[in-house]
Structure 1
């Protein structure tokens, strides 16, 4: 999934660009502004907008000499578009929920990399740190199977490959205190979706 341009990924072309612009604001926009933000010509916008108004997805208000347009949020199609526009946040929430439902929930689940930076496109990996519970051994088959099932669920949720960095709480604390590139990235971009926060994980090492 292209999470940078999720609406355009599903609705390709100029129409998707126009809908993406309108989904990003509750303000009324004139035709020129919509065309500029969508990166299309005013002629293209003037051909597309009447059709969207006719479908009821967009409403038009005349303010002579201009016409103002906005998405109709109550429309069933608009609801789907707005859900797409919020897809990154939806995925982050769902990752945390799925992790919390594991038989042995992780100590912490941290998303980092391009997805955490909101830069993930269709071929981007979703990079995740999973901090293993203290009572679970590294070679515990049941834990490994449940974590692999979680990874598959996330892949099905997003369509993107999922790369899991599995560590113990002590390893996470050591990494967060160190200077390796991957842990520097995690400190800078990491989004905790379940369990202990980064500061709490750092404290594990000194506890």
Structure 2
């Protein structure tokens, strides 16, 4: 999935680009502003927007000599567009919930890389650190099966390949303190979706 442009990747062309702009703001915009923000020409926007108004997704208010447009957030189809625009946040929530349901809950699950930086497109892997409680053996069958199941569910949820780093809690704390470029990136960009927060892990590293 393209998480940078989720709306226009599902609704192609100028229509998707216009809807993506309107989904990101509650402000009323004139046609030229919509076109500029959407990266389409004014003529393209002028062809697309009337159809969206007719469908009820977009509201038009006349302010002579121009018209102002905004997404009709009471419209059910428009609400789905808004949910699509929020896809990344919704995915993070689902992946965190799935981690909480594992038979061997991790100490922490951290998303990093392009997805954490809001840069993940359809070609991007989603990079994840599973921090294993120290009392759980890395070869524990329930633990490894849980990660495999989570990875499969995450791939189905996102449409992207999932890359997992499996590391013990004490080792992860040490890596965050002095683990090289990769762990500097995790500390800087990572998003904890379950368990111990990155700040708490960093505090443990500094203790």
Task: Tell me the secondary structure at the aligned position of residue 124 of structure 1.
Answer: coil
Unaligned regions of 5+ residues in structure 2, if any? none
Matches of 1:117 and 1:206, distance apart in 2? 25
Q: How do 1:1-207 and structure 2 match up within 5 A?
A: 1-204=1-204
> What runs of 5+ residues in structure 1 fail to find an aligned partner?
none
TM-score (ref. length: structure 1): 0.96
- For this pair of structures, how many residues does the alignment match? 207
CA distance in 1, matches of 2:16, 2:203: 47
Deviation per CA, 1:93-119, whole angstroms, max 9, x where unpaired?
111111011111100001000000000
Cα shift at 1:73: 0.7
In the superposition, relative to structure 1, how do residues 39 and 204 fare at CA in structure 2: closer, same or farther (>3 Å)? closer
* Alignment partners' CA distance in 2, 1:84 and 1:34: 19
TM-score, length of structure 2 as denominator length: 0.96
1:140 CA displacement: 1.1
Q: Deviations over 1:13-42 (max 9, x none)?
A: 111101111111000000110111111111
Q: What SS does the corresponding residue of 2:193 show, helix, strand or coil?
A: strand
| Partner SS state of residue 137, structure 2 | coil
* Displacement after TM superposition at 1:203 (Å): 4.7
Q: Distance in 1 between matches of 2:41 and 2:5?
A: 19
| Cα distance in 1 for residues equivalent to 2:199 and 2:60 | 49
